[in-house]
Amino acid sequence: MDPFRITSKKVLTLILVIDKDLQKILLGYKKRGFGAHLWNGFGGKVEPGETIQQGALRELEEEAGITVSPERFQKAGVLLFVFENDPVGLEVHVYKAYQYEGQIRECEEMRPQWFNFADIPFDQMWEDDRIWLPILLEGQDPFYGRMYFKHKPLEESTGLEPSTVTTATTTTVADPVMVNSTTSAVSLSATMATTSFTATQPKSGPFAMFDYHLEKNLAGVPREFALDGTIASFED
């Protein structure tokens, strides 16, 4: 049985607020809940009756206290997160905004902070961020990607020293291949059956990325994923 097979999806949003002139990005430190103690963009679930865009704007205002006019932000791509032995995939619609209104403020869930592009705290973020976020900042969107995660052993998640440490890891990196004249794809696979994640590794949460596939510079903006991980449709 495929441990990464999904039978349903949950739709989520993510907005990255960017100051291109100062080369800065606004991130939020998650204080509680899923992804706690990691830096991330702003977003969350889409409420019943909302469009995905409306849900993204609402979450930004709730978590950072700022608003963005619909015409001032755009969809950069879609990411599908699949967790080992979890049949529910997370379909995350990623947006970027270069202007905002209001006063940035902290809330009970998130603490916003500006970071220089050169100082983005990837060691305190989800592992996949270092793969697709530079693509967004370099203007190589729209993109789509599939990210596969395994649970880390308890000692790594809690920061406790493991009783034994195994370091053997086999990694295969595929050469980039052209999908079409405007699309490039990159994929990486790692065999982690003999790997024990240790407390000396970056604290990037309770999950370890096992595999991924990413395509950038797409000819169109993806709308949604099919359950097999392929793009089901594109935005009009």
Question: CATH number for the domain including 171?
Answer: 3.90.79.10
pLDDT (tens digit per residue) in 147-166 = 999 988 765 544 443 333 23
pLDDT of residue 71: 86
pTM: 0.82
pLDDT confidence band for 59 (50 / 70 / 90): very high
pLDDT (tens digit per residue) in 24-34 = 999 999 998 88
Q: Is residue 37 part of a domain?
A: yes
Exposed e or buried b for every residue in 65-84, given b needs 16+ CB within 10 A? bbebeeeebebbbbbbbbbe
Q: Looking at the 3D structure of the chain, how many domains does it have?
A: 1
For 228, the domain range is 8-234
DSSP, collapsed to helix, strand or coil, labels residue 71 as: helix
Q: Is residue 1 part of a domain?
A: no
